Amino acid sequence: MSEDICPLTQVREGKAVIQVCDLSAYADEKGYVDPAWAPVFYNPRMSCSRDISSAVVGAYAELRGRSLTVADILCATGVRGIRYALENEGVAVAYLNDIDPRCYHLASRNIRLNGLEGRAMAFNYDAVKFLLEHRRIDVIDVDPFGSPARFVDPALRAISHGGMLCVTATDTAALMGKYPGACLRKYSSLCRLTEFSREIAVRVLLQFVAREAAKLGITVKPLISYYMDHHVRVCVQAFRKKPDYEWLASRLGYLVYHPQTLHRQLVRLGELEQLKLGEGYEVVGPLWVGGFADGSFVEKVLRIFLERIELGYCKRGVKLLTHLREEASGAPFYYTTDSVTARYRLQSEVSVERLVKLLSERGFPSSRTHFDGKGFRTSAPLEVILEAFRELSARS
Q: Which residues of 312-325 are buried (b: 16+ CB within 10 A; e: fewer)?
A: ebbeebbebbbbbb
Same CATH fold, 334-396 and 39-288?
no
Residue 17 forms beta bridges with which residues? 12
d(CA 368, CA 226): 14
Give me the pLDDT at residue 80, please. 98
- For the residues 84-98, what does the mean pLDDT come to? 98
Q: Does the pLDDT at position 236 exceed 90?
A: yes
- For the residues 304-324, what does the mean pLDDT come to? 97
Q: CA dist 314 to 9, 13, 46, Å?
A: 22, 10, 11
- For the residues 367-388, what does the mean pLDDT come to? 97
Residue 14 forms beta bridges with which residues? none
Q: Does the pLDDT at position 81 exceed 80?
A: yes
Q: CA dist 153 to 6, 88, 104, 177, 225, Å?
A: 34, 27, 24, 23, 19
d(CA 313, CA 322): 15
- For the residues 6-29, what does the mean pLDDT come to? 95
Give me the pLDDT at residue 348, please. 87
Give me the pLDDT at residue 349, please. 92
| Phi, psi dihedrals of residue 334, rounded to the nearest 5° | -70, 160
For 178-228, write each residue's pLDDT tens digit: 999 999 999 999 999 999 999 999 999 999 999 999 999 999 999 999 999
Q: Is the peptide bond before 154 cis (omega within 30 degrees of 0)?
A: no
Q: To 10 degrees, the CA torsion angle through 52, 54, 59, 60?
A: 120
| CATH among 1.10.10.10, 1.10.357.10, 3.40.50.150, 3.40.50.620 for 39-288 | 3.40.50.150
- For the residues 316-331, what does the mean pLDDT come to? 97
Give me the pLDDT at residue 243, please. 85
Q: Does the pLDDT at position 238 exceed 70?
A: yes
* Beta sheet of 219-228, edge-to-edge order: 120-123, 91-97, 68-72, 137-142, 159-169, 231-239, 219-228
d(CA 81, CA 297): 21
What's the distance, CA 53 to chain centroid?
10
For 158-191, write each residue's pLDDT tens digit: 999 999 999 999 999 999 999 999 999 999 999 9
For 257-282, write each residue's pLDDT tens digit: 999 999 998 898 878 777 888 889 99
What's the distance, CA 143 to chain centroid?
10
Give me the pLDDT at residue 1, please. 55
Geometric angle at alpha carbon 369, from 365 and 371, rounded to 5°: 150
8 band by pLDDT with thresholds 50, 70 and 90: very high
The bridge status of strand 252-257 relative to strand 282-288 is: antiparallel
Per domain, the residue ranges of the chain are 39-288, 334-396
- CATH number of the structural domain 334-396: 3.30.56.70
Give me the pLDDT at residue 2, please. 53
Residue 316, C-beta contacts closer than 8 angstroms, at least 6 positions apart: 48
Across 81-85, 234-238, 276-280, least confident range:
276-280
Q: Which residue has the higher pLDDT, 212 or 393?
A: 212
Residue 373's nearest CA partner among 391, 340, 392, 351 is: 351
Give me the pLDDT at residue 274, please. 79
67 band by pLDDT with thresholds 50, 70 and 90: very high
Give me the pLDDT at residue 3, please. 63
d(CA 145, CA 163): 23
The percent of residues in the chain predicted with pLDDT above 90, rounded, is: 89
Helix, strand, coil % (nearest 5) of the chain? Answer: 45, 25, 35
For 137-156, write each residue's pLDDT tens digit: 999 999 999 999 999 999 99
- For the residues 21-30, what does the mean pLDDT come to? 92
Q: Does the pLDDT at position 377 exceed 60?
A: yes
